Amino acid sequence: MKSVYIHIPFCSNICSYCDFSKIYYNKKIIIDYLNALENEIKNKYNGEIIKTLYIGGGTPSCLSVDELEKLFNIITIFNLDNNCEFTIECNPENLDEEKIKLFKNYNVNRVSLGVQSFNPEILKILNRKHNKKDVFKTVELLKKYNINNINIDLIFGINNQTINDIKEDLDTFINLNIPHISYYSLILEDNTLLALKNYTPIDDDLCASMYEYICGYLNKRNYEHYEISNFSISNYESIHNLTYWNNEEYYGFGLGAHGYINNIRYENTRSITKYLDKKYLFYSDKISKDINIENEIILGLRKIKGINKSRFKDKFSQEIYDTFYLDDLLEKKYLIDDGENIFINEKYLFVSNEILVMILNNIRK
């Protein structure tokens, strides 16, 4: 049983922070793109049962109803599990009732809304085109058609943003009464509009304080912190994203998509010209056992519950303590071993990258 990620690169608007593979909406090439996508799927998909399907972008919801219908018809190629989690990413400003009806007809059961903030000034910095009313209207429409498994993405650590701004965004989120939130810290990527405008990053200590506030606020309201940036009501975790964090295999289709199949990690081209010419692959690499173990650590310790020791032994035929020197990190309480799992102490989640570097530098030879 596998998972599938499909990338739709088209956007009606380019956000100032986005480094994903994207191009402006162009009606002339969308059908050509979908035809190339269909060809890629038919040539690479091996008929496995699919447990999760995730359509991301870009902005999939900027496609017209007819274009979305063509996309959903392509998806019928997959052998979807009866309980498949089927997610599509959307922007509030271009999702309407007709598109939501189409989602329902094709068994979409989870929607992830790119919100980023409810604050008009922050939205301007991020070059977003919706407002708070758009978000509430969209959530109301989704619930009308019984699509209740809804996530919103928010961003913190933005210059001029305050702890009070974070509180107001979280208060608004709670009023939406939805089960999942992904709250990411802003990362300044090269070649984004923010980087090109010489954006000044926020102070690290303030960013850490914001993160601590977010975690505490959501914990008090029964949102389980299950991954560094993700929180959900019980049983509403993103099954698809857990595929990544559990270091499990998945297909990636579309421009710039990544995949991990038959122990090979690959990345598709980000050139729309090459993709339309059916020259899909940019890079692939057979993963050695040592690299796979490193990936298990890097991905698994993003989860709040961390890495299950028995699962690690079953997967790699060796104990995690025979693989890494962890005594010092455990003694200093950077890591915790609860008997079943090893995980990063919640106090140090914000500096998890530094802890990962320490672990990977302490491999037993």
| Residue 216: per-residue pLDDT | 98
Domains within the chain, CATH numbers bracketed? 2-244 (3.20.20.70), 310-365 (no CATH)
Taking 90 as the threshold, does the pLDDT of residue 199 lie above it? no
Q: Are 94 and 58 in contact (CB under 8 A)?
A: no
pLDDT score recorded for residue 189: 82
| Cis omega (within 30 of 0) for bond into 254 | no
Q: Tell me what pLDDT residue 198 has.
A: 82
Backbone angles phi, psi at 266, to 5 degrees: -140, 160
Residue 195 has pLDDT above 90, yes or no: no
DSSP result, 170-222: HHHHHHH--SEEEEEEP---TTSHHHHTTPPPPPHHHHHHHHHHHHHHHHHTT
pTM: 0.96
Over residues 292-344, the pLDDT tens digits come to 999 999 999 999 999 999 999 999 999 999 999 999 999 999 999 999 999 99
Alpha helices in 230-346 (DSSP H): 239-245, 272-276, 289-300, 309-316, 327-331
Phi, psi angle pair for 110, to nearest 5°: -145, 135
CA dist., res. 37 & res. 35, Å (int): 5
The reported pLDDT for the residue numbered 362 is: 82
pLDDT at residue 365 tops 70: no
**Better pLDDT: 273 or 160:** 273
Task: Report the candidate in 104, 88, 113, 75 with the shortest Cα–Cα distance to residue 240.
Answer: 88
CB-based contact 73:65 (threshold 8 Å): no
Percent of the chain whose pLDDT exceeds 90: 88
